[in-house]
């Protein structure tokens, strides 16, 4: 389930492994809560799985870490807001209380 480019909805295949189902639950949680501070511990507590298991399985299936994937979700939503002209970069930064770096 490598994901390059746009962040997509979790797969709805019926023959998913338990690891794929767990990863899809993680992604759904992230998509619903991306506007809030989320840590790997929060996700593990929500799903009631061991942190090491979730982190390893997530990386194995998606090819990236949970935090990197969460940042991709956040960037995709920010990009959509910017493209739609709903917010300027500075307004978005203020709204999310984030620091902008010169390379962004």
User: Which of 64, 44, 49, 20 is CA-nearest to residue 75?
Assistant: 64
Give the chain's domain count: 1
Cβ atoms 65, 59 nearer than 8 A:
yes
Indicate whether 29 belongs to any domain.
yes
pTM of the model: 0.67
User: Which of 103, 101, 95, 63 is CA-nearest to residue 78?
Assistant: 95
- Could you identify the residue written with the tokens 């298991």? 53
Indicate whether 23 belongs to any domain.
yes
Indicate whether 7 belongs to any domain.
no
- Could you identify the residue written with the tokens 């390379």? 103
Of the pLDDT bands very low, low, confident and very high (cuts 50, 70, 90), residue 95 is low
Indicate whether 5 belongs to any domain.
no
Indicate whether 13 belongs to any domain.
no
* pLDDT tens sequence across 24-72: 999 999 999 888 888 889 998 998 988 999 999 999 999 999 999 999 9
- The rounded distance, in Å, linking the Cα atoms of 27 and 1 is 12
Residue 53, domain CATH: 1.10.10.60
Domain carrying residue 58: 18-96
């Amino acid at each position: 389930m490598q994901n390059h480019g746009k962040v997509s909805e979790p797969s709805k295949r019926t023959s998913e492994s338990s690891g794929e189902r767990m990863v899809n639950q993680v992604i759904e949680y992230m998509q619903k809560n991306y506007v809030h501070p989320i840590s790997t511990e929060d996700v593990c507590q929500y799903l009631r799985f061991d942190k090491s298991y979730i982190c390893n399985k997530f990386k194995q299936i998606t090819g990236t870490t949970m935090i990197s994937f969460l940042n991709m979700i956040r960037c995709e939503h920010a990009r959509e807001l910017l493209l739609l002209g709903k917010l300027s970069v500075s307004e978005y930064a203020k709204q999310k209380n984030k620091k902008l770096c010169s390379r962004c």
